[in-house]
């Protein structure tokens, strides 16, 4: 599944209403409904972000998505957030491929820059496998334990 996803990488203003709808619908489906966490899922950072969407077919439903928030908005570094994979796309590596694609795009835009995430604490091992290191104590965000993690690019 992961190797067959068709990726689109766009700024918020260039997404188009259908892609925006599909990305936000998936995020709400997982973060609000599945995780039973009522919170303001769509926020102002969306407008200051790049959005990566993965679909099984170019016009198919969004199965994986993340946003990369510009440096200086949430953190000094560029930050990856709202990382989401549809339940039907889990277990085949789509989440790992999504993050690898997001990190690659970050390095194209900001070569040599570290990338920060605010990760759900139970996903530290997943993100650690991608090279992220936990850099904060655990904290609650929307009643879910989180930690900050930092990824540094490999030395050239």
pLDDT tens digits, one per residue of 69-87: 999 999 999 999 999 999 9
Q: How confident is the model at residue 34 (pLDDT cuts 50, 70, 90)?
A: confident
pTM for the full predicted model: 0.91
- Kindly indicate the confidence band of residue 3, based on its pLDDT and cuts at 50, 70 and 90: low
74: alpha, beta or left? (left if phi > 0; alpha if psi -120 to 50): alpha
Q: What Å distances lie between residue 140 and 19, 32, 118, CA to CA?
A: 31, 16, 11
Residue extents of the structural domains in the chain:
2-151
Length of the chain: 156
Assigned CATH for 2-151: 3.40.630.30
């Amino acid at each position: 599944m992961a190797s067959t996803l068709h990726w689109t990488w766009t700024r918020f203003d260039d997404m188009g209403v259908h892609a925006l709808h599909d990305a936000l619908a998936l995020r709400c489906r997982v973060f609000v409904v599945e995780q039973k966490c009522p919170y303001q899922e769509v926020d102002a950072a969306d407008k200051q972000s790049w959005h990566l969407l993965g679909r099984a077919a170019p016009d198919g439903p969004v199965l994986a998505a993340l946003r990369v928030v510009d440096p200086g908005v949430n953190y000094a570094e560029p930050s990856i957030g709202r990382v989401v994979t549809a339940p039907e796309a889990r277990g085949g590596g789509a989440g790992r491929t999504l993050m690898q694609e997001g990190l690659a795009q970050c390095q194209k835009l900001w070569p040599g820059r570290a990338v920060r995430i605010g990760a759900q604490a139970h996903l530290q091992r997943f993100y650690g496998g991608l090279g992220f290191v936990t850099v904060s104590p655990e904290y609650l965000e929307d009643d879910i334990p989180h930690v900050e993690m930092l990824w540094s690019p490999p030395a050239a």
